[in-house]
Amino acid sequence: MEQTILTASKNYPELDGYLWQNHFKTVLLVCDSSLPLLEISKYFDEAEQRLSVKFVKFQDFEPNPQYESVVEGVKAFHQNHCDSIIAVGGGSAMDVAKCIKLYSNMDPACHYLQQEIVPNTVELLAIPTTAGTGSEATRYAVIYLNGEKQSIADESCIPHTVLFDASALKTLPEYQKKSTMMDALCHGIESYWSVNSTEESQSFSKQAIGMILECKDSFLKNEDSGNESMLKAAYIAGKAINITQTTAGHAMCYKLTSLYGISHGHGAALCVAKLWPYMVQNSLKCIDLRGEGYLNHIFHQIALSMGCPTVEGGIQFFCNLLNELKLDAPNAQASDFSLLSRSVNPVRLKNNPVRLDSKAINALYHEILDRKEDSK
């Protein structure tokens, strides 16, 4: 699906045009708690009277959104006779909005996760307030049911329109800026080496990695130009992931996030920093049908995208970046490793170019958390 990309300017005339052109009357505004802190919040407050458009705010969800929250969102969509959806926020707001769109034409008397998805024409506009998840570019959404992660994937949940608003990144805490940037970088890297990669996805990966590193300093200084470039880089990395899906780096990071309370991007970066050298050392276990030689070539291409002439240099560059950002490994207990190893989704490992068994995963977690393995 071809998306429409808008870039915000002062007073958001782009949004005026979008709303006028589509003749919307009642919009479900799916937003997280950051909205009152953003410049765009004032726009929505004033647009109701100025444009005769009603915005129904839906904020009843948590950072790891529950299925029940999506159900309430679908109810709000119908009870208020909404004709479109706008999502303003990070990955969670995007995921909730995507699922509300997907489920809006389903039978509310039956469990949505057990029904077949039928595409609909409900318009979805995404306004990302972090530069990392790339959710505004993908067909994926994540929600939780009874504590279990549910991955939803369907082309029809990709937002029709994306608005890049650099001012939305101004209020991000420093830690979130660092970790979301690393999430986008890991998307670029993992997509590059995924067994599902294509020439198109690798082009997106290369472009995203280069853009992220080029605008990194400006972004971390909270400059407008850096914020705008990082939004676009994260989006491009999302387009790569939309083709390939993530690999073991992301599969292994989810439990780190919930167990230690670190951000998703922080966890993913810790995993990629150890996964990459492991795969280089164990390239004989390559499961990519294009072969070991091809995989080693891709590792080299990733390093070149970082401005490093060798794979070893690329790995060192990535690790140095983690140290520079002070994204350290959390403190782990010996009892954590069994739990961590059991948490890895084997489906995600099918996308990883090097075979990982339970012993390798356990050893990697010890490397990631900087603890020696217990003697057998």
Q: Which position has the token pair 């996760």?
A: 113
Q: Are 98 and 157 in contact (CB under 8 A)?
A: yes
What is the model's pLDDT at position 376?
Answer: 40
Identify the residue whose tokens are 């276990």.
285
Please give the full DSSP string across 344-365, using - where no structure is assigned: --HHHHTTSSB---HHHHHHHH
Give the residues across from 39 on adjacent strands.
Answer: none
**pLDDT at res. 2:** 85
pLDDT of residue 48: 87
With cut-offs at 50, 70 and 90, classify the pLDDT of residue 375: very low
Residue 87 confidence (pLDDT): 98
If 0-12 CB within 10 Å is exposed, 13-18 middle and 19+ buried, where does residue 221 land? exposed
- Which band of pLDDT confidence, cut at 50, 70 and 90, is reported for residue 13? very high
Average pLDDT, the chain: 95
Cα dihedral 220/224/225/226 (nearest 10):
20
At residue 373, the pLDDT reads 61
Catalogue the long-range contacts made by 195-198 (C-beta closer than 8 Å, 24 or more residues apart): 195/287, 195/288, 195/289, 195/350, 195/351, 195/352, 195/353, 196/243, 196/244, 196/245, 196/351, 197/243, 197/244, 197/298, 198/243, 198/244
SS3 content of the chain, % helix, strand, coil (to 5): 55, 10, 30
Residue 372's pLDDT band, with cuts at 50, 70 and 90, is: low
- Report, as an integer, the average pLDDT of 182-188: 98
Task: Note the pLDDT of residue 374.
Answer: 52
For residue 374, what are its two tokens?
């217990």
Average pLDDT for 158-164:
97
Tell me how far apart the alpha carbons of residues 364 and 369 are, in angstroms, rounded to a whole number: 9
What confidence score (pLDDT) does residue 149 get? 83
pLDDT tens per residue, range 273-330: 999 999 999 999 999 999 999 999 999 999 999 999 999 999 999 999 999 999 999 9
Helix (H) or strand (E) holding 145: strand 140-145
Task: For 327-360, write each residue's pLDDT tens digit.
Answer: 999 999 999 999 999 999 888 799 999 999 999 9
State the Cα–Cα distance between residues 302 and 237, nearest whole angstrom. Answer: 13
- Distances from the Cα of 324 to the Cαs of 5, 208, 302, 321, 329, in angstroms? 33, 20, 20, 5, 13
Tens digits of residue pLDDT in 83-110: 999 999 999 999 999 999 999 999 999 9
The string of pLDDT tens digits covering residues 218-271 is: 999 999 999 999 999 999 999 999 999 999 999 999 899 989 999 999 999 999
Can you give the pLDDT at residue 257?
A: 92
Do residues 243 and 201 touch, judged by C-beta distance below 8 A?
Answer: yes
Q: Which residue has better confidence, 217 or 375?
A: 217
* CB atoms inside a 10 Å sphere around CB 217: 10
Tens-place pLDDT, residues 118-135: 999 999 999 999 999 999
Between residues 376 and 142, the one the model is more confident about: 142
CA distance 330 to 315: 21
* Verdict on whether the full-model pTM lies above 0.85: yes
